[in-house]
């Protein structure tokens, strides 16, 4: 979203009519700040986020950040406790990376 459009779009997404169109359990959140592209224009990111977290640290026994095996993006190696393994299965329809 171009920075100059932020105030108008922000006011629109908070209208009750627009909020009613969002699926239950989804809220729209902005990026923490604008990001500039090579042309010098600044943009905000707008994200649809689940209001209830899919995964929490409640059942973790070990977690460590590490580079991914293919292209080295940041990832996490997590080990759930036995009683929490079902919690870490991806929800139906979730994207798998």
According to DSSP, the residues that pair with 62 across neighbouring strands are 79
Residue pLDDT, tens place only, 45-79:
999 998 887 767 777 777 777 766 666 666 666 66
Q: Count other C-beta atoms under 10 Å from residue 91's C-beta.
A: 8
- What are 23's two structure tokens? 């699926």
> Would you list the domain boundaries of the chain?
3-50, 53-88
Q: pTM of the prediction?
A: 0.57
So what's the pLDDT on residue 38?
77
Residue pLDDT, tens place only, 77-90:
666 676 666 665 66
């Amino acid at each position: 979203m171009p920075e100059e459009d932020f105030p108008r779009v922000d006011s629109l997404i908070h209208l009750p009519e627009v909020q009613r169109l969002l699926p239950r359990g989804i809220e729209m959140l902005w990026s923490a700040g604008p990001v500039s592209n090579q042309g010098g224009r600044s943009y905000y990111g707008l994200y649809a986020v689940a209001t209830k977290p899919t995964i929490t640290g409640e059942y973790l026994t070990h977690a460590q950040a590490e580079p991914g095996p293919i292209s080295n993006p940041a990832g996490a190696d997590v080990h759930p406790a036995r009683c929490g393994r079902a919690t870490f299965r991806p929800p139906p329809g979730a994207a798998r990376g």
